[in-house]
Each structure stands twice: as structure tokens, then as C-alpha cells.
Amino acid sequence: MARSKTSNAWLQEHVNDHYVHMAQKDGYRARAAYKLLEINEKDQLIKHGMWVADLGAAPGSWSQVAAKLVGEKGRVFALDILEMPFIAGVDFIQGDFREESVLKTYTDLLEGREVDLVICDMAPNITGNAVTDQARSMYLCELALEFAQNHLKPGGHFLVKVFQGYGYNEYMTAMRDTFATVTTRKPKASRDRSAEMYLLGKQKKV
């Protein structure tokens, strides 16, 4: 089957992508690693010994970054509907985050302890319908925020990928109700044409 012009353009961009080459050289599974590395360099989110929840983790580049930074005394708990090959220092659960049974299996890993940081680079399967895709994306963001509200320790931080559109303002309000400060981040590794951005909630309120 012949590739479409769009997929050819994406492939060309991917092949020539600076961050793709860096990821291959540095041993990261995806260029997304550099988004987290840049945000972490600016905001100092991940520290040695932390417990970190990584939602929507596959293929695992954010978990790779987090596991390196928390070190042997820290732990990373990853979750994704897709399979993710083993990463040292990472506990992984495969399943649909929207299902209660999967969420329970995941939270059981925490053994009743609250985490220091929740990171979420989740995105839904894209249908091509902008309204549907935005609604699905915001639903995942809402679930991630709810997880942070329930399992993040007071003073902890939450980093989540969002797309501006329907539901964004309401989501920002919910973030501000939960955290002392909420800021936006658009790392250099995020492609200019992408509508994605990251919201960083710092210092979860008691």
C-alpha cells in the first residue's frame, strides 16, 4: 500500500529529527524523553529517592528518565494500555487506565503510600475528529488529575500533557483548586506544529 503524503511527510520529519537521533544515541525509547528532561531541568521535579507514578508510560522514555533520576532508593510505577518492555527500577502494569480493576491493581503497588510526583504523557487514539479527540484527551487528563488528587502526597507535583480546546479552561480551574501554583510548559522537543502543551501543578494543597 502506498503511503499518503501526510505519512511520507511525517516519516521524512522523523528521520531528520534532531531529538530522534539524540534518543537513539542516548538509549531512550522515544524523543519524548527530552521533553521531560527539559522540564525537569527547569523545575527540578524529580529527585533522588522519590516515588513517581508515570501514567500512559509506553514505550517508556519518561520512565527511563524518572528511574535514572530517582536512583536505587526511589521507585517508578508505570501504567499503559500498551505493552512496555522491562526497565530496571520500574514496576509496570499493562491495562486500560479507565477501568476500575486496572486502576486498583496499579494502586495496590503503592502499598498505601502516597507518591511524590505524578507524570502523565497520555494521549488517546486519534480518530481524526477534532471534537471527539479533544473530548477523549480531556477525559484522560481528568482521570490523571483525579489520580493525583487521591494518591499524591501534600506538597507533591503533577505534570500532565494537555491540548487546548473544549474543557481546557475548566481543567485549569480544577488544577488551580488542587495546587498552589499552575504553570504551562512547552519544551523545545515538542514540535512547533503540535497543539500539545504541559501543565505543571506544584505543591498539592492539603
Q: Please list the residues that pair with 197 across neighbouring strands.
A: 162
54 marked among binding-site residues: no
56 marked among binding-site residues: no
User: Rounded distance, CA 96 to CA 56, Å?
Assistant: 9
Rounded to an integer, what is the distance from CA 166 to the centroid of its chain?
20
17 marked among binding-site residues: no
Annotation says 161 is catalytic: yes
177 marked among binding-site residues: no
H or E, element range at 163: strand 152-163
> 179-185 and 152-163: which strand pairing?
unpaired
60 marked among binding-site residues: yes
Residue given cell 503540535 in the structure block: 194
C-alpha cell of 198?
504541559
For the beta sheet containing 179-185, the strands, ordered from the edge strand earlier in sequence to the opposite edge, are 90-94, 75-80, 51-55, 115-120, 152-163, 196-204, 179-185
Out of 47, 104, 161, 205, the active site residue is 161
- Residues annotated in a binding site: 60, 62, 80, 96, 121
- Residues annotated in a binding site for S-adenosyl-L-methionine: 60, 62, 80, 96, 121
The residues annotated as belonging to the active site are 161
